[in-house]
Amino acid sequence: MQLDPLLIVPTISFATAVILLLVFSFLDVRERKVSNGLLFAGGLVGCVVSILTGHLFSHTFLYLSALSFVLALSYVLFRLGALGGADVKALVVVALTSPGVVYAHWENQIYEGVMIGAIEILVIVFVGYLYWQILRRSGRTTSEERVVPLIPLLLVGYVVVQMMPFISQILFIS
């Protein structure tokens, strides 16, 4: 993994994804619902940013692998009831806007797209399950609280994944 010296394009992708996820997270926590129109608009913004920065064309296999993997796994998890529709759509928006690790480049774009998508999905499912277990054991599981807002967990997972190159440099330099 090698850090990119030109941080403009990665920062645009990162900032766009974080802003979109912040908006989606706010609605997910407040209303337990994110409208399809807003998610579609977020996906459109992500596509435009990916095209205008040129990242889509220079990392085509990264986008294809991330989208394919996220769509396939999140659909299965949706059918099993582990993810809601908005969670799946938010994962797709992230895969369209900022797949992989934006501040580093892996040699294998397919592996990067699959691994980063898997880590993000793992974070939201695992931490969401732990949160639900805590709620269930505390006895506060009204029908409204049974729906765990997972998009904020996606935001946390996304930011942690994107900071991995910096964290690893700090740990290995010390």
150 touches 124 (CB < 8 A): yes
Domain residues of the chain, as ranges? 2-173
User: Percent helix, strand, coil in the chain (nearest 5)?
Assistant: 75, 0, 20
Distances from the Cα of 117 to the Cαs of 43, 142, 153, in angstroms? Answer: 16, 31, 14
pLDDT in tens, 66-89: 999 999 999 999 999 999 999 999
Residue 90 has what pLDDT?
97
pLDDT at 8 over 80: yes
141 has pLDDT over 90: no
pLDDT in tens, 10-48: 899 999 999 999 999 999 999 989 999 999 999 999 999
The whole-model pTM stands at: 0.88
Residues paired with residue 105 on neighbouring β-strands, in sequence order: 2
Distance CA 148, CA 168 (A): 31
Which residues 6+ apart lie within 8 Å of 61 measured at CB? 109, 110, 113
pLDDT at residue 169, rounded to an integer: 78
Tokens of residue 94, six digits: 């992230």
Looking only at the bridges linking them, the beta strands covering 104-105 and 2-3 are antiparallel
Q: What is the pLDDT, as a whole number, of residue 131?
A: 86
Residue 30 confidence (pLDDT): 93
